[in-house]
Amino acid sequence: MEGDCYLVKVDLVHVLKQTNYQRDRLDFYIRIVDDPQRNLRLDKQLCRFCFYGGNQTVAKNYYEDCQFCNQRFCNNLQLICKSCAKEKRLCVRCCCDIELKDRRKL
């Protein structure tokens, strides 16, 4: 066999699996654009990507100091404390702008 080709058997199972996969991806992107749960997302202080597609599982809780205020907080997949995130309008998980807007300063 020449090269490192990977042959996929295209049958009905493959077509159904790929159709469902692509439909799920499309639904994900529509939710990000439409932002149907905006109020809940903002209450949790998450950007669209972290809220709709981010890791929703809970990591083992451990305590860490916030990078802005040095307040100790329970780190549950967060980079900064919720109060600093609200003040600076950042996502608590990835620290991007909560509305995905460009900024000139922090």
Q: Give me the amino acid identity at 93.
A: R
* Tens-place pLDDT, residues 56-95: 555 566 778 888 898 887 777 788 888 999 999 999 988 9
C-alpha to C-alpha distances, 43 to 12, 29, 40, 76, 90, nearest whole angstrom: 43, 21, 5, 16, 12
pLDDT for position 60 = 63
Cα 42 from Cα 50, distance rounded (Å): 11
- Asked if 92 and 80 count as a contact pair (C-beta separation under 8 A), the reply is yes
Q: Give me the amino acid identity at 103.
A: R
Q: What residue spans define the domains of the chain?
A: 12-88
DSSP 80: S
